[in-house]
Structure 1
Amino acid sequence: MPVRWRDLDAFNHVNNSKYLSYLEEARLHWMIGVPGQGMDDHVAPVVAAAQLNYRRPIAWPAQVVVELFVERLGNTSLTVGHRIIDAEDSGVLYCDGHVVMVWIDRESGAAAALPAAVREACSEV
């Protein structure tokens, strides 16, 4: 994923809020591969928590890779671990942490069972 000029802040490195955008983009690309994308007319995923450890600034120009992996598979939630690394040198770690996604009932807003397609996709990772 390319680092865009508009991602920079006044200190001339990627603004911390953009890291969340990079993670969102990677999760969405993963979700596209899940049958039904883990949602339907009744249930959908929401981000319940995000934890990011900023390890070093990302300068421009750069290409980054976002690695995703399953940390925890629950009854209604999925904890997705992540690492943002340099595309040319995988030893350069910019960020790590995790995001907790909870599936909710669209009508009531209450937690809903993790869809079978999501559970299956997570076991393939």
Structure 2
Amino acid sequence: MTRRRKKTEDAAGTPAAKPRRRKPANTQPPTPASAAQPVADGAPPLLMRAPIPVRWRDLDAFNHVNNANYLTFLEEARLQWLQSLPGPWVSEDVAPVLAAVQINYRRPIEWPAQLIVELYGERVGNTSITIGHRIVAENDRGIVYCDGNAVLVWIDRHSGKAAELPDAVRRGCGG
């Protein structure tokens, strides 16, 4: 026996989507740390808290944010942090590439939602940095949607080999 859902139709006879309430877009600016600051004893220094709104287009067929979009939210926060650095982090000669990313999906994100992406400086090397990340609910930071880390390696654009970490990035990580 199959169950059927009751469908509502519009004037043309096509199924109508359930209306949703929309929250206003987040107007809060990102909050970079001028100098990386530890958040607690033994915790890595906080680099930035970046507000990210969930868009309708981020949803998948299961009506929650698609897992690949979590990575897009993290990428956006990393770029906001890099652009906040006082000094060049990219040039015609060197640029960062994402070498590795690790993500633990803790719970689904539903629409509408306002998120905060928190970035932490876990490790600063000669040619790379490891940035810890968390996506949390803006109104309750105890709700963690995901956590993990990403490794960015700076490369020489001409040779493709690892290049020295720019001073602005090293300073931005507290090093």
Runs of 4+ in 1 over 3 A off after TM superposition: none
1:100 maps to a residue whose letter is V
Residue 110 of structure 1 is matched in structure 2 by 161
Equivalent position amino acid for 1:113 in 2: E
Instruction: Show structure 2 runs of 5+ residues with no match.
Output: 1-51
With structure 1 as the length reference, what TM-score do the two structures score?
0.96
Normalised by the length of structure 2, the TM-score is 0.69
1:58 corresponding residue in structure 2: 109
2:73 alignment partner AA: Y
Instruction: Specify which structure has the higher proportion of helix.
Output: 1
Which residue of the partner structure matches residue 95 of structure 1? 146
Aligned length: 124
When residues 49 and 94 of structure 1 are mapped into structure 2, their CA distance, relative to the original with a 3 A threshold, is same
**Separation (CA, whole Å) in 1 of partners of 2:122 and 2:106:** 20
CA distance in 1, matches of 2:82, 2:147: 20
Match of 2:92 among 6, 26, 41: 41
* RMSD, aligned CA: 1.0
* Shift, 1:35, TM fit: 3.4
Q: Distance in 1 between matches of 2:58 and 2:118?
A: 19
- Mapped to 1, the partners of 2:59 and 2:83 lie a distance apart of 28
Deviates more, 1:29-38 or 1:108-117: 29-38
C-alpha distance in structure 2 between counterparts of 1:122 and 1:54, whole Å = 25
Shift of 1:43: 0.6
**Matching residue within 65, 73, 78 for 2:124:** 73
Kindly indicate whether structure 1 or structure 2 has the higher relative contact order, using CA contacts under 8 Å at least 6 residues apart: 1
Q: Does the Cα contact within 8 Å between 2:88 and 2:166 map onto a contact in 1?
A: no
Report the alpha carbon displacement of residue 88 of structure 1 after superposing the two structures with TM: 0.5
Structure 1: give runs of 5+ residues left out of the alignment: none
SS of 1:9's equivalent in the other structure is: coil
Asked if structure 1 preserves the Cα contact closer than 8 Å seen for 2:85 and 2:169, the reply is yes
Q: 1:9 aligns with which of 60, 76, 87?
A: 60
Q: 1:32 aligns with which of 78, 83, 90?
A: 83
